[in-house]
């Protein structure tokens, strides 16, 4: 432990008591990538995956404030300025609400293990890792539910709109339903054991901000009826362990037809996935990553290999991941980094 600062902070916006004697020196954490929308549930459904994900190493230092020590894996694309970087900005916000900003100093190393602008919740994984790390460093004064609004604020900073369908599963793990956006009513749904995904990221950049601008703000009632039937079907399928119901419900008639045009070979990839046993196939978050949902990892592996070959033959580079649905959310990797 760092030599203790005996000052006790009993009064702060969050009304949390921080035990200064037990603040940790260092921690290294992981937070998972996420598949927002779960194909049919635009802005309200999402799930976490075991891989990829981001890491944050956080160090307590004597000089108060929040600083970024370094970022790796981002090709120099993310800001080091602590007020502009979403990870440090959210950590600052939390320390400020805890009344600690002038008393505690932390430095952050962000290790990105996933591409930015890929539709895999890259900014969410980093933000959740940062907030989870500082909470662990402080002795976990906040519950995950209490951390959630800070994570959502990170999304607002990263893409201009504070949607929770990436941060909620990244923080809570599993499949999450955002029943209410304004009151942040987040519900964890059951996850069947054999639910796997094969994810392919065709290496073209589609920022969420741009992908959202494309979407029409009015939908036809007949399409809405199809979509909400599908959303209800997915939720029922998860509760009933019914892979067939999950698969036939994960269909998007509202958003996919518009966004698919940004994704090279989308309909060919979909054909390959469905012909090779996918329960469903669609866009991950705002794309361009695509996701094949399957029963078991072997089917998912076959699908991503075939899609990779298809894209390679057309000179499109891609990254592939096969993963179960992540249940735990963020986790501590090491206390002594
Ligand atoms: N629900 C958001 C969207 C998720 O589709 O724009 C972005 O990752």
Question: The domain that contains 266 carries what CATH number?
Answer: 3.30.70.890
Ligand 1 centre to CA of 210 (Å) is 11
| Annotated binding residues | 115-125
Burial class (CB in 10 A: 0-12, 13-18, 19+), 25: middle
221 and 137 within one domain: no
Q: What's the pLDDT at 160?
A: 74
CATH of the domain at 139: 3.30.230.10
d(CA 101, CA 175): 34
Backbone phi and psi for residue 39, each to the nearest 5 degrees, phi listed first: 75, -55
Per-10-residue mean pLDDT for the chain, 337 residues long?
41 82 95 98 97 97 96 94 96 95 95 93 96 97 96 87 91 97 93 98 78 86 98 98 98 95 95 98 96 98 98 96 97 85
3-class DSSP state for residue 288?
A: coil
Q: Which of 32, 35, 36 maximizes ligand 1 atoms within 8 Å of its Cβ, making it the mutation to test the pocket?
A: 36
Structural domain count, the chain? 2
Write the residue with the smallest CA distance to atom 1 of ligand 1.
Answer: 43
The tens digit of pLDDT for each residue in 295-310 reads 999 999 999 999 999 9
Annotated catalytic residue 21: no
Ligand 1 atom index nearest CA of 285: 8
- Find the 289 Cα to ligand 1 centroid distance in Å: 12
Residue nearest to atom 6 of ligand 1 (CA): 286
Do 180 and 88 share a structural domain?
Answer: yes
**Ligand 1 atom nearest residue 124's Cα:** 8
Domain that holds residue 41: 3-188+327-333
Q: Are 181 and 203 in a shared domain? A: no
Q: Check whether residue 227 and residue 153 sit in a common domain.
A: no
Both 64 and 134 in one domain: the answer is: yes
* pTM, rounded to two decimals: 0.93
Distance, CA 42 to ligand 1 centroid (Å)?
A: 7
From the candidates 155, 176, 256, 265, give the one annotated as an active-site residue: 155
As for ligand 1, residues whose beta carbon falls within 6 Å of it are 36-37, 42-43, 119, 163, 165-166, 208, 211-212, 285-286
Helix (H) or strand (E) holding 201: strand 195-202
Q: How far is the CA of 190 from the centre of ligand 1 (A)?
A: 22
- Whether 155 is a known active-site residue: answer yes
Question: Distances in Å between the alpha carbon of 333 and those of 58, 69, 295, 305, 309?
Answer: 12, 19, 29, 30, 34
Q: In this structure, are 149 and 117 located in the same domain? A: yes
Atom in ligand 1 nearest the alpha carbon of residue 34: 8
Residues 181, 105, single domain; the answer is yes
- Given this model, what pLDDT does residue 158 score? 83
Closest ligand 1 atom, CA of 286? Answer: 5
Q: What is the pLDDT of residues 133-171, one digit of tens each?
A: 999 999 999 999 999 999 999 988 887 777 899 999 999
Q: What pLDDT sits at residue 3? A: 38
Same domain, 57 and 155: yes
Q: Which pLDDT does position 11 carry in this prediction? A: 59
For a mutational test of ligand 1's pocket, the pick from 210, 211, 227, 260, i.e. the residue with the most ligand atoms closer than 8 A to its C-beta, is 211
Instruction: Give 336: exposed, middle or buried? Use CB within 10 Å, 0-12, 13-18, 19+.
Output: exposed
Residues 152 and 205 placed together within one structural domain of the fold: no
- Would you state the pLDDT for residue 10? 42
Q: Which residue has the tokens 């998007």?
A: 252
Q: Whose CA is nearest to atom 8 of ligand 1?
A: 285
As annotated, the binding site for ATP includes 115-125
Pocket test residue of 33, 114, 117, 163 for ligand 1, highest count of atoms within 8 A of CB: 163
Question: Which pLDDT score is estimated for 292?
Answer: 98
Query: What is residue 303's predicted lDDT score, i.e. its pLDDT?
Result: 98
Q: Are 46 and 171 in contact (CB under 8 A)?
A: no
Same domain, 138 and 176: yes
Residues 214 and 277 in one domain: yes
Question: What sign does the dihedral 112-118-123-128 (CA atoms) show?
Answer: negative
Bond from prior residue into 231 cis (ω within 30 degrees of 0) = no
**168 and 202 in a common domain:** no
Using the mean position of ligand 1's atoms as its centre, give its distance from the Cα of residue 91 in Å: 23
Instruction: List the structure tokens of 89.
Output: 């900005």
Round to whole Å and give the CA distance between 195 and 241.
9
């Amino acid at each position: 432990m760092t030599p203790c600062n005996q000052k006790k902070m009993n009064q702060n916006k969050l009304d949390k008591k921080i035990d200064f004697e037990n603040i940790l020196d260092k921690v290294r954490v992981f937070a998972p990538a996420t598949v927002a929308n779960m194909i049919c549930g635009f802005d309200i459904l999402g799930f976490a995956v075991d891989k990829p994900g981001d890491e944050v190493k956080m160090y307590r230092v004597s000089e108060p404030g929040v600083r970024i020590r370094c970022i790796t894996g981002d090709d120099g694309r993310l800001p080091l300025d602590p007020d502009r970087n979403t990870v440090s900005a959210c950590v600052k916000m939390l320390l400020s609400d805890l009344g600690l900003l002038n008393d505690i100093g932390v430095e952050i190393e962000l290790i990105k293990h996933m591409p930015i602008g890929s539709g895999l919740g890259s900014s969410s994984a980093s933000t959740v890792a940062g907030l989870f790390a500082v909470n662990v460093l402080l002795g976990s004064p906040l519950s995950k539910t209490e951390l959630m609004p800070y994570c959502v604020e990170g999304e607002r900073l990263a893409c201009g709109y504070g949607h929770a369908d990436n941060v909620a599963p990244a923080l809570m793990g599993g499949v999450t339903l955002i029943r209410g956006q304004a009151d942040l009513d987040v519900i964890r749904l059951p996850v069947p054991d054999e639910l796997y995904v094969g994810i392919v990221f065709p290496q073209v950049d589609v920022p969420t901000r741009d992908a959202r601008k494309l979407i029409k703000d009015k939908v036809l009632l007949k399409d809405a009826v199809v979509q909400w039937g599908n959303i209800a079907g997915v939720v029922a399928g998860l509760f009933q362990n019914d892979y067939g119901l999950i698969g036939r419900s994960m269909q998007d008639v509202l958003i996919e037809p518009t966004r698919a045009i940004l994704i090279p070979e989308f309909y060919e990839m979909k054909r390959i996935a469905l012909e090779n046993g996918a329960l469903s196939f669609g866009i991950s978050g705002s794309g361009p990553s695509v996701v094949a949902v399957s029963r078991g990892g072997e089917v998912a592996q076959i699908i991503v290999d075939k899609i990779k070959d298809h894209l390679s033959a057309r000179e499109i580079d891609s990254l592939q991941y096969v993963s179960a649905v992540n249940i735990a959310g963020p986790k501590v990797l090491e206390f002594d980094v």
